[in-house]
Structure 1
Amino acid sequence: MFLAWKEIVRNKLKFSLVVMVLVMISYLVFLLSGLAGGLMNMNRESIDLWESDAIVLNDDANNTIAQSFISEDELPDIDENNTSIIQTSLIVSNEDNEESAFLFGVEDDTSFIIPSLESGDMFENTGEVIADASLKEEGFEIGDELSLASSDETLEITGFTESAKYNAAPTMYSSMDTVREINPMYGDDTVSAMVIQGDTGDVELDDSLVMMPTEDFINELPGYQAQNLTLNFMIIFLFVISALVIGIFLYVITLQKRQLFGVLKAQGFTNGMLAASVFAQTLILSIIGTTIGLGLTLVTGLFLPDVVPVTFDYVTLSLYAVVLILVALLGGLLSVSSIRKVDPLEAIG
């Protein structure tokens, strides 16, 4: 380890290039990780706040709440904590700002799917809604009268909840009567779904209904899996590229030191000792490059605007950092194999 570090210090420029490559790759990996986390959170934020175990939908709804229409007579009679909901999509405007949003109608203002109220008051009358914090960030305020693109009805914001996006759009919550006035497709005894907290093993369903575990429902959200798979594949490819680039760099450096390795072998150094030196060198370089890349990522996160959906999970970042270091060591195997082929007499000339 000492000899490996001494050589790095002695040849700063050459090894700085290797570190710079590692910094750029790790920086991109960490940023993509944050972007993937942010986009995932935008899709499932409100559902995670429900802390539910299952969702009951119409069997013909293609696993989406918006297309599910259920008569209240068909809903299962269960003892677990549950609530019926209605969902409709809206384009709301307060004259200065316009935004797409999802409106959830609930049975009452104590429903467990309603996020924590951060400011203002809970809705009480038909036409009153509470909105999640992301609408507040877009310029909407308590008391705003919202006009709707798809209805002559208007809504009034009475309060704001914690951030609770659904399928990457802001959410609002109100009574079922409010949603039924806006969307006539919902009759007096029609709901979209039932959200259940608790054991669902003994729940008996009508033939027209299907019950999905909440995590399965999230995975069926439009674009959710495709988006996550795309970003994860990009991260995997970066790991592969990292191994190849570091392997090539170290291989070239090793070839430049063939004569030195020949002299060391002639003096009694074994292949194992030389390989350990190369691995130590790779470990030092990868730790330095990955650490700098991680630091740059965290600093970048402080200056990114709120519209950029980036969420850094420190456990994931730590895991990726370890993987990057291991991948760099894997790339160093190419150099180790070349050391074994060095003939002391031939290298010395």
Structure 2
Amino acid sequence: MQLGWKEMWRQKRKFSMLFVITFLIVMLTTLITGLADGLAYDNGSALHELNATTYQLDPDSEGQLTRSFIDVTANTLNETMSVRPLTVTIDGKKEEVTLFALPKDGNIGPVSALRKGEVVFDPSLSENLGLGDSLIDFASNYRFTIAGEASGRYSHGPVIYTTNETWFDYLNQSEQRPYVSAEIGTESTMSDALVMSQQDLIESVPG
């Protein structure tokens, strides 16, 4: 051991360089790991914020909410969630968002105070949106009214949250059949439902 220390001291320039290189490799690995964790959280942060642990999806959805289509009626007794990518216009400019429709009385997500047609949006969508402003769905011209802000991102894009009441009204006005993306909890109207935990659902988010 003593000879080793003497050798390191005699060739301190050489060993100093080895120490610096090792330190930089460790720092780079730490930064990359942190970046990967941050990107993973950003990819599914909207799901992280939901107060639910189990979801029932269409068995053909491959675990992706935007590919899950469950036929329901607007007055279904089960708590449901719907997720759909939209292109909305803000003052004539197109923006890509993901719509999350949640049960108003289920304490799942930031929608308990919303009325029909209202949404809350992730601040990364725009700095110029305020209460009472509108988001207009490009495909159907359905008008969503801003009622507040709530953090949430899905597939590295901003989320807008609304209620199931607004969701079914949106489908009706755009002349689409009523459906939802998932039933929340352990009960399901489907005998062959794909049961997923919150973590499994997050890991299945595209991106």
TM-score range, shorter chain: 0.7 to 0.9
Q: Is structure 2 residue 176 aligned with structure 1 residue 176?
A: no
Paired residues of 1:153 and 1:181 also in contact (CA < 8 A):
no
CA, structure 1 residues 98+24, in 2 after alignment: closer, same or farther (shift >3 Å)? farther
Partner residue, 1:150 = 139
Question: Does 2:166 align with 1:217?
Answer: no
From the CA coordinates, give the structure whose radius of gyration is larger: 1
Q: Which residue of 2 aligns with 1:331?
A: none
Residue 156 of structure 1 aligns to a residue whose secondary structure is: strand
Where does 1:232-247 land on structure 2 (aligned, <5 Å)? Answer: none
Identity among equivalent pairs (%): 28
Aligned match for 1:132, one of 122, 131, 136: 122
Q: Distance in 1 between matches of 2:32 and 2:55?
A: 31
In structure 2, how many angstroms separate the alpha carbons of the residues matched to 1:3 and 1:88?
68
Alpha-carbon distance in 2 for matches of 1:185, 1:5: 77
1:5: how far off?
4.8
Post-superposition CA distance 1:62-86 (Å, at most 9, x none):
322222222337xx97xxxx73122
For normalisation by structure 2, the TM-score amounts to: 0.80
Q: Which runs of 5+ in 2 are unaligned?
A: none
Distance 2:33 2:61 in 1: 32
Q: Flag the structure with higher strand content.
A: 2
Between the two proteins, the alignment pairs up a number of residues equal to 201
- The equivalent of 2:100 in structure 1 is 104
> How far apart are residue 128 of structure 1 and its match?
1.4
Verify the 8 A CA contact 2:56 2:188 in the aligned structure 1: no
- TM-score, length-scaled by structure 1: 0.50
Moved over 6 A (4+): none
* Secondary structure of 2:141's aligned partner: strand
Higher helix share: 1
Correspondence for 2:84: 88
Aligned to 1:286: none
**Offset at 1:21?**
1.4
- Give the equivalent residue in structure 1 for 2:190: 206
Q: CA RMSD in A?
A: 3.0
CA contact (8 A) 2:61 2:67 kept: yes
SS of match in other structure, 1:139: coil
Q: Classify 1:3/1:164 alpha carbon distance in 2 versus 1 (closer, same or farther; 3 Å).
A: farther
**Given residue 87 of structure 1, which amino acid in structure 2 is its aligned partner?**
V
Structure 1 stretches lacking a partner, 5+ long: 224-349
